[in-house]
Amino acid sequence: MIRPILRHGDDILHQPAAPVQEITPEIQLLIDDMIETMYAAPGIGLAAPQVGVGLRIFVADVSGGHDPADLLTFINPEFVERDGTQREDEGCLSVPGFNAAVTRSSRAVVKGLGRDGREHVVEATGLLARCFEHEMDHLDGTLFVDRLHGLQKDLIVRKIRKLSRAGKW
């Protein structure tokens, strides 16, 4: 089932997510829904808080659904290593219509549980490393806009507030 994606300003997006205690049938259904929602959006990553569930789960697929082997699911993920830097334009399904250059690690190693409950560790570079950091930010209550500074951040936040007041957000 495709779930609605929450937008910047919704409280759950700005709060740290709680660890998953047990991988239940409800968690499996949530993961299925997140995958379907991510592909429908379309996006390359989606965190549970973006669909209104404050749990530490994210899905990612930088192929956008073109290669089933690229689909990754992380439950209770954590960073093992991060190094290097890359600065690229970034967008977000919870901040539609806005992009900005964000500095991220060029390499990230993430450890977490797969949907089968087994621990897996994935080393990522480039776009996948960026995706991992972006989704992990969501689990910590941070959006890419929060990583911006000065005029760039102010312009985006003001435009969002204006759209909100006009009922278009």
Q: Is 135 labeled as catalytic in the residue annotation?
A: yes
Does some domain include residue 3?
A: no
Does some domain include residue 88?
A: yes
Does some domain include residue 5?
A: no
Encode pLDDT of 17-35 as tens digits: 999 999 999 999 999 999 9
Instruction: List, in order, residues 6 or more apart from 165 with CB less than 8 Å away.
Output: none
Phi–psi pair at 104, nearest 5 degrees: -135, 170
Does some domain include residue 137?
A: yes
Encode pLDDT of 54-104 as tens digits: 999 999 999 999 999 999 999 999 999 999 999 999 999 999 999 999 999
**CB-count exposure of residue 1 (10 Å: 0-12, 13-18, 19+):** exposed
Concatenating the DSSP letter of every residue in 46-84 gives EEGGGGT--BSEEEE-TTTTS-GGG-EEEEEEEEEEEE-
Does some domain include residue 69?
A: yes
Q: How far apart are CA 152 and CA 73, in angstroms?
A: 32
Average pLDDT over residues 39-47: 97
Does some domain include residue 2?
A: no
Residue 30 sits in a domain whose CATH number is: 3.90.45.10
Residue range(s) defining the domain that contains residue 23: 11-165
Q: How many domains does the chain have?
A: 1
Predicted pLDDT at 17: 98
Instruction: List, in order, residues 6 or more apart from 40 with CB less than 8 Å away.
Output: 2
Structure tokens at 143: 């959006």
The partner residues of 89 in beta bridges, in order of sequence, read: 101
Does some domain include residue 50?
A: yes
Q: How far apart are CA 38 and CA 66, in angstroms?
A: 13
pLDDT above 70 coverage of the chain, percent: 100
Q: Of 78, 81, 133, 135, which one is the catalytic site residue?
A: 135
Helix (H, G, I), strand (E, B) or coil at 160: helix
